[in-house]
Structure 1
Amino acid sequence: MSGPAGCCRGSLPRLLAGALIAALALLHAPGAEARSYPNIFGSKEIASQNWGVKTSAIANWRAMLQRWANGAPCESNTCTSKGWDALVAKVKAAGDPMAQIKVANQLMNDPAQHPYIEDINNWGKTEYWATAFQFLRKSGDCEDFSIAKYMLLKAAGMPVENMRVVAVRIRSLGGIGHAILVVYQGDKALVLDNRVAPVMDEKLVRSEFQPALSVNENSWWVHLPGK
């Protein structure tokens, strides 16, 4: 599948197709719970902590976390932790949470350091979710940018319950699959997208994105059309 640079062309369509299967599974899944923060892009959310559901997104997220090993240092031709502490320090030094979010987004979106690279070219696979340290070594595609920002903000002190990696369709591009990071601050949901420099208020780009599935280390969610 082809598409604009910066959008996930190979992996996300399968992830999005699996969201319906996940939604059906959640009808009988234990552990679903309501969330107090705003629903992403006005969608209806179904939450779960049932990590045994068989979808590619959940499997790839869990496999990434296992490789990440809570940020254990690594150094190889596919992974490096060099420079990570300096990145974390830059985010912490930014000051308040909103400033930290902007700095993390800017650092990871730097095209000179992190060019967009499709999974098939980077890993020889159509779908591969890289850890933040793999991203530092080899860069990546849209979900890899989102994961790196998530882990960078987490290392700087952002609670994981305030963040989600979100699989979406981009309506203005014919529904092509993409991934972003959403970070909650108070009653606002903020969008961090590798395609654009600014951090965006979710309300301002609500018509652009159709969410399908989101995940953090505590839970995962299927997104259905809102009212």
Structure 2
Amino acid sequence: MPFNERNSHSIARLLKRLPQESALRVREWLKLVEQNRLRPMVTKLKAVNDYFNALAYISDEEMWQVEDYWATPLEVISNGKGDCEDLAIAKYFTLRAMGVSSQQLGISYVKSYRLPTAHMVLDYYDSRESRPVTLDNLDDTIRERPDLNAIYSFNEEHVWSSHNRSSNVGSPSEIRHWLLLQEKLSDQLLF
């Protein structure tokens, strides 16, 4: 999902409208994407995880005054903060912008015995048969996470249960917040 000419024009217009600090963060993110697009996968994963894990955590209630809101990558980057699903989604689309196939990625809704509430992370699959490594805003180390129990995972094409990617249990279009996110992304013309 490399940027095209339409994206470049949209980005230029966007940068002019953003406050200076937000525009600087967007430029840094664009640089991250360009510098890592052709690098080895392990480098891409680490760069993306480190970038987004350095952003501040903020709850949806504090940031958006609603219980659950899925921010676009642009909203996360320009604000410099987000919650677990915002960061997982931003990591997903950043890796897609670097050329990583959606088939290798899954946004996962998980539970952990260490956390009192549900959590969202990004999983990366090296191959169709491999167990994923996890990019988590609560853990800077990218690794397999047996402590996380995936309830469901999804990408642009599929929804699956647990880590069994062959168990297609639905379409991402059935996830209301994903649909709202797609509408916002379409309006932003970046992805």
- TM-score norm. by structure 1 comes to 0.58
Secondary structure of 1:130's match? coil
Note closer, same or farther for the CA distance 1:223–1:129 as it changes in structure 2 (3 Å cut): same
Instruction: Select 2:68's aligned residue among 107, 118, 127.
Output: 127
Shift of 1:171: 1.4
Whole-angstrom distance in 1 between the partners of 2:89 and 2:120: 10
Instruction: Report the Cα distance in structure 2 between the residues aligned to 1:173 and 1:121, rounded to whole angstroms.
Output: 20
**CA root-mean-square deviation:** 2.5
CA distance in 2, matches of 1:147, 1:223: 18
Checking the alignment, whether the CA contact within 8 Å between 1:91 and 1:153 is kept in structure 2 is no
Equivalences for residues 137-216 of structure 1 within 5 A: 137-138=78-79, 139-174=81-116, 176-186=117-127, 187-200=130-143, 202=144, 205-206=145-146, 208-216=147-155
Secondary structure of 1:108 counterpart: helix
Q: Give the match for residue 83 of structure 1.
A: 28
Question: Can you list the C-alpha shifts for 1:58-115, whole angstroms capped at 9, x where unaligned?
Answer: xxxxxxxxxxxx89534457x864433212023226x2111211111111111xxx10
2: distance between equivalents of 1:108 and 1:123? 19
Identity, in percent, stands at 27
Which protein is richer in helix relative to its size?
A: 2
Query: SS in structure 2 opposite 1:168?
Result: strand
Aligned length: 147
Mapped to 1, the partners of 2:131 and 2:36 lie a distance apart of 20
**3-state DSSP class of the match of 1:173?**
coil
Counterpart of 2:42? Answer: 98
Give me the whole-angstrom Cα distance separating, in 1, the residues matched to 2:121 and 2:43.
19
CA shift in 2, pair 1:76/1:220, >3 Å = farther
What is the CA–CA distance in structure 2 between the aligned matches of 1:217 and 1:157, rounded to whole Å?
14
Contact 1:166–1:182 (Cα < 8 Å) also in 2: yes
Which whole-Å CA distance do the structure 2 matches of 1:83 and 1:120 have between them? 27
Measured against aligned partners, the alpha-carbon deviations of 1:199-222 in whole angstroms (never above 9, x if no partner) come to 11x2xx21x111112111111123
Q: Matched residues in 2 for 1:155 and 1:171: separation?
A: 33
Runs of 4+ with >4 A deviation:
none
Distance, in Å, in 1 between the alignment partners of 2:30 and 2:18 is: 18
> Structure 1: which 5+ runs fail to align?
1-69
* Structure 2: gaps of 5 or more residues: 1-6, 165-191
The DSSP-based 3-state class of the residue aligned with 1:148 is helix
Higher relative contact order (CA closer than 8 Å, sequence separation 6+):
1
Taking structure 1 as reference, are residues 91 and 224 closer, same or farther at Cα in structure 2, changes over 3 Å only? closer
Matched residue of 1:199: which SS? Answer: strand
User: Residue 224 and residue 194 in structure 1: after superposition, are their counterparts in 2 closer, same or farther (change >3 A)?
Assistant: closer
